[in-house]
């Protein structure tokens, strides 16, 4: 029997009266990877921000429920949400370098993140982090611990961002375009690490992407979004091999531009 840990139920979101997400529903079982796919402005990032409770102040959730582990997140206050963020629901940002503090080492930032949720001493946190770095095949964990973000490549910053998110062993991991700003080799490593996390820890993952090659590589299920609405959803192979919507077919035929969130849509 499936173990459903998350439900996004009939959610609509507006920004100053303009609809960004319109009556979107989906659920996610333990250990599954769901891809939210669509062009810039399709609503996919708004969806995961609403899960984290970090929507912009001008955003309003008009209706619906966001249920995680049988609790409606929309009924939680800010203090309750802070206890959930990171510890139970982790997030990987599109640009991990931009998410890091540039004047503090990776190790210092890891200690701060863990101490926000657990009473652990610095040495214990360090040993756990180095062990995870090693498990995720990050070279020279000790050097990484002492490095500043600007000393690392874009791909390595993304991989470290994944490791930091997983240190708290969240049940649900949200990944916002984690491969859009890195080269192909780094992209392969990031996707391999996400799959390794799912396989090793049973973590459920929602990944936002504009790139159907990412969907093909990593997703179990797919939701295609356009103008805030779901135009198609289903099991990955069904969607990729037999798309029902013309828009989905266009995305499959599209070629993502390098280091960008846009497409060059195929006219063939």
Q: How far apart are CA 41 and CA 227, in angstroms?
A: 7
Q: How confident is the model at residue 145 (pLDDT cuts 50, 70, 90)?
A: very high
pLDDT at 182 over 80: no
The DSSP symbol for 151 reads G
180-184, 191-195, 200-204: least confident range: 180-184
Q: How far apart are CA 65 and CA 9, in angstroms?
A: 5
Q: Would you state the pLDDT for residue 263?
A: 44
Structural domain 4-264, CATH architecture: 3-Layer(aba) Sandwich (3.40)
Question: Residue 90: phi, psi to the nearest 5?
Answer: -95, 160
- Per-residue pLDDT reduced to its tens digit, 21-42: 999 999 999 999 999 999 888 9
Q: Would you state the pLDDT for residue 95?
A: 67
- Per-residue pLDDT reduced to its tens digit, 49-96: 999 999 999 999 999 999 999 999 999 999 999 889 888 999 888 766
Edge-to-edge order in the sheet of strand 172-176: 89-92, 172-176, 204-209, 33-37, 221-226, 229-235
Q: How far apart are CA 150 and CA 251, in angstroms?
A: 34
Q: How confident is the model at residue 169 (pLDDT cuts 50, 70, 90)?
A: confident
């Amino acid at each position: 029997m499936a173990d459903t840990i998350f439900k996004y139920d009939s959610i609509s979101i507006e920004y100053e009266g303009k609809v960004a997400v319109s009556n979107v529903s989906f659920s996610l079982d333990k250990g599954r990877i769901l891809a939210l796919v669509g062009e810039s402005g399709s609503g996919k990032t708004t969806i995961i921000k609403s899960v984290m409770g970090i929507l912009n102040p001008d955003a309003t959730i008009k209706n619906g429920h966001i249920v995680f582990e049988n609790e409606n997140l929309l009924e939680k206050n800010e203090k309750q949400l802070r206890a959930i963020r990171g510890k139970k629901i982790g997030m990987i940002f599109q640009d991990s370098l931009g998410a890091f503090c540039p004047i503090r080492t990776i190790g210092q930032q890891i200690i701060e993140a863990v101490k926000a949720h657990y009473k652990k001493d610095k040495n214990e946190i360090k040993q756990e982090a180095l062990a995870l770095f090693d498990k995720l095949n990050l070279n020279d964990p000790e050097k990484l611990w002492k490095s500043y973000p600007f000393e690392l490549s874009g791909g390595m910053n993304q991989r470290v961002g994944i490791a930091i998110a997983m240190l708290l062993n969240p049940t649900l991991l949200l990944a916002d375009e984690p491969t859009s700003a890195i080269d192909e080799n780094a992209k392969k490593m990031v996707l391999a690490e996400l799959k390794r996390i799912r396989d090793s820890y049973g973590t459920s993952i929602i990944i936002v992407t504009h790139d159907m090659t990412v969907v093909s590589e990593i997703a179990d299920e797919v939701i295609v979004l356009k103008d805030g609405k779901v135009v198609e959803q289903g099991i990955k192979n069904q969607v990729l091999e037999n798309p029902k919507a013309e828009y989905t077919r266009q995305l499959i035929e599209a070629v993502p531009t390098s280091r960008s969130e846009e497409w060059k849509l195929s006219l063939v």
